[in-house]
Amino acid sequence: MAEEAMPDPFVLFGAWLEEAAATEPDDPNAMAIATADASGVPNVRMVLLKGFDASGFVFYTNIESRKGTELRSNMHAAGALHWKTLHRQVRFRGQVDVVTDSEADSYFASRDRNSRIGAWASQQSRPLESRSALEEAVARQTARFRTEELVRPPYWTGLRVKPVYIEFWCQRPYRLHDRLAFERDKPGAEWSVTRLYP
């Protein structure tokens, strides 16, 4: 992992993700996303990375969920991906923006039909009285969308973390791990690169 050979963190990330796709048994795009509530207490959960480019890392969610509510009040998040088979991880943090409607519509349309129905049936993060209540909600929405167009719910969209910090970590013997940190003052600015002690 040489910073001289790889000055763009998104190029390096793409290479690592491609390798992970070939080696990880399940969900190489699984990532932890951390948000904070109104009192500053953090919450973290696993989501799926659904896209990335030089503008940031994208995932999709119900914005009425706990993560959505927290992000609406504090549009910053941190994320991490860990690839056990490769002994690597990447972590990042930055400002969060909502993707465009056209991006969200396009991704929603690409999802499996049952997953799209599930987005309508689930009141994500809110109390659920029983599993059967969820199954009934799925059945209602399935019946509804036999005759209606299955469009994206207004509360379901994508969020893009626009990082100002990205760190690449690679396991080495005796815990003398390799760490490379990319930092910038704001999204779109030039990156500085620093090698860190393990």
Instruction: Please report, for the chain, the start and end positions of each structural domain, with discontinuous segments joined by +.
Output: 30-196
Predicted TM-score (pTM) above 0.85: yes
Q: Does 30-196 carry CATH code 3.90.79.10?
A: no
At residue 7, the pLDDT reads 73
Quote the distance between the C-alpha of residue 190 and its chain's center: 23
What percent of the chain shows pLDDT beyond 70?
97
For residue 171, give Cα distances in angstroms to 24, 83, 175.
16, 11, 7
**Residue 5 pLDDT > 70, yes or no?**
no
Q: What pLDDT digit, counting tens, does each position of 65-80 carry?
A: 999 999 999 999 999 9
**Residue 141 pLDDT > 70, yes or no?**
yes
User: Which amino acid makes up residue 183?
Assistant: E
**Residue 36 pLDDT > 90, yes or no?**
yes
Residues identified as active-site: 175
Sign of the torsion angle spanned by Cα atoms 116, 120, 126, 127: negative
**Residue 1 pLDDT > 80, yes or no?**
no
At residue 2, the pLDDT reads 54
Buried b / exposed e over 23-53, threshold 16 CB at 10 Å, is ebeeebbebebbbbeeeeeeeeeebebbbbe
| Helix boundaries (H) for the chain | 9-23, 66-73, 101-110, 113-121, 131-144
